[in-house]
Structure 1
């Protein structure tokens, strides 16, 4: 039986390379409980991930639907790539079907940056979302609607000893740890200039665990957002076909 928007209680889960985060949202994207997290299991196999999710949510209140943001390429709830979790274990794994079987509720799974994008954008114009964490996530939205997902993280940005260096290599968590904060910020400035030229976005939103490590001034149309903001996109996955995004988001911020 389909739930009306008023009845929706969405278990919204953000799977990351270091932590799994979750909360319960109402249809307007308002948190119904404190945001909680657990360390991402190693190895990060589908089986271990499901056990970690069940441990994380075992004391959560009742929910009607499930939304998951996953760090990789997702098509119709099926994982195609999971570069920061282990591609081989996840290839062609139907995570939405597994969640429904294990938790007994309808589930939707999308790329994590796409879900964050739904949670933070205004719904006006061409908006781009970046997540700076274990890897480099991106989402593109036009007037509040998700555009086809592009794995920009795996596109070359530089080269070293004749080998292509991707965005993940260049500004991911490993690069930050290896090069230090100062060098990483210099690289981020270069990346922002490239993105500005290539995408000509109206607004750029920057989230993820490393967003607060940026030390240089941002342009007026660039904004830092939090994981708590992004996880609210889990509600939008179930309501975005029912009403304009600007109405839902304005209600969520009251």
Structure 2
């Protein structure tokens, strides 16, 4: 497989429950412009979301490829679930093909937490990424390789409640910050016990509402950090390994 062109420019898009964010990245995942955003339309069906993306990026600089993080289970660019946008709208929609047709460039679509994981992971050991926002996103990577995407947000955490119900936006709004933080302490204890991760990365719009001390192997990451994963989707296996070695010189 040929190496990725050195001057590659990637349009990296993060579709969220409240906003759609985008920027242009170079091959190294460096932002070539500040990321911009637009409110997620209501209803958030495919046509409306694609129209919003077109509006958002119409004045962006030129790009060669498109990477998208989507809030749901995505298989080979085809959306299977979209719990916070409407699965009825999205089930079996080939979003990668729709974006290629709309924007005229090759597109890859993955789960949003997976893309964030690619953007922040060091490539060392078992790394877990969670996103705290409209819902609860999760990704797992082993030595920099994405593992199959699990919809952990739909596991029951107590009777009649899954993780989306327990710590998503609706729970934060209903229960308040203090009770939400108590719930987050419980969730972190569960994740630590079940996954035995080497590092846990915490992203999403509600990560800044955590008000207690985190373990040394837990790190808060930003949307800007996560959106950088859009570049790694287009790297060859060899380039991806090289990039991680540069990022982790202590190996």
Give the TM interval when normalised to the shorter protein. over 0.9
Task: Mark the CA change 1:168 to 1:124 in structure 2 (over 3 Å): closer, same or farther.
Answer: same
| CA displacement at 1:20 relative to structure 2 | 0.2
2: distance between equivalents of 1:111 and 1:249? Answer: 25
Question: Residues 77 and 108 of structure 1 are in contact (CA less than 8 Å); yes or no, is this contact kept in structure 2?
Answer: yes
Correspondences of 1:194-233 after superposition (within 5 Å): 194-233=190-229
Residue 173 in structure 1 maps to residue 173 in structure 2 = no
Q: Number of aligned pairs?
A: 248
For 1:155, the equivalent position in structure 2 comes to: 155
1: distance between equivalents of 2:99 and 2:125? Answer: 34
2: distance between equivalents of 1:140 and 1:67? Answer: 19
1: distance between equivalents of 2:72 and 2:114? Answer: 10
For 1:50, the equivalent position in structure 2 comes to: 50
Q: CA offsets, 1:170-214, max 9 Å, x none?
A: 000000000000000000000000000000000000000000000
Q: Which runs of 5+ in 2 are unaligned?
A: none
Question: Residues 129 and 205 of structure 1 are in contact (CA less than 8 Å); yes or no, is this contact kept in structure 2?
Answer: yes
| CA displacement at 1:246 relative to structure 2 | 5.9
2: distance between equivalents of 1:246 and 1:189? Answer: 36
Q: CA offsets, 1:130-189, max 9 Å, x none?
A: 000000000000000000000000000011xxxx21000000000000000000000000
2: distance between equivalents of 1:172 and 1:83? Answer: 12
For 1:105, the equivalent position in structure 2 comes to: 105
Residue 126 in structure 1 maps to residue 116 in structure 2 = no
Question: Residues 3 and 236 of structure 2 are in contact (CA less than 8 Å); yes or no, is this contact kept in structure 1?
Answer: no
Task: Mark the CA change 1:187 to 1:246 in structure 2 (over 3 Å): closer, same or farther.
Answer: farther
Question: Residues 185 and 215 of structure 1 are in contact (CA less than 8 Å); yes or no, is this contact kept in structure 2?
Answer: yes
Match of 1:238 among 222, 234, 248: 234
Q: TM-score, normalised by structure 1?
A: 0.94
Question: Residues 78 and 92 of structure 1 are in contact (CA less than 8 Å); yes or no, is this contact kept in structure 2?
Answer: yes
Task: Mark the CA change 1:171 to 1:240 in structure 2 (over 3 Å): closer, same or farther.
Answer: farther
Q: Which runs of 5+ in 1 are unaligned?
A: none
Residue 187 in structure 1 maps to residue 183 in structure 2 = yes
Q: TM-score, normalised by structure 2?
A: 0.96
For 2:25, the equivalent position in structure 1 comes to: 25
Structure 2 residue matching 1:14: 3-state secondary structure: strand
2: distance between equivalents of 1:8 and 1:248? Answer: 18
Task: Mark the CA change 1:246 to 1:215 in structure 2 (over 3 Å): closer, same or farther.
Answer: farther
Question: Residues 4 and 236 of structure 2 are in contact (CA less than 8 Å); yes or no, is this contact kept in structure 1?
Answer: no
| CA displacement at 1:78 relative to structure 2 | 0.2
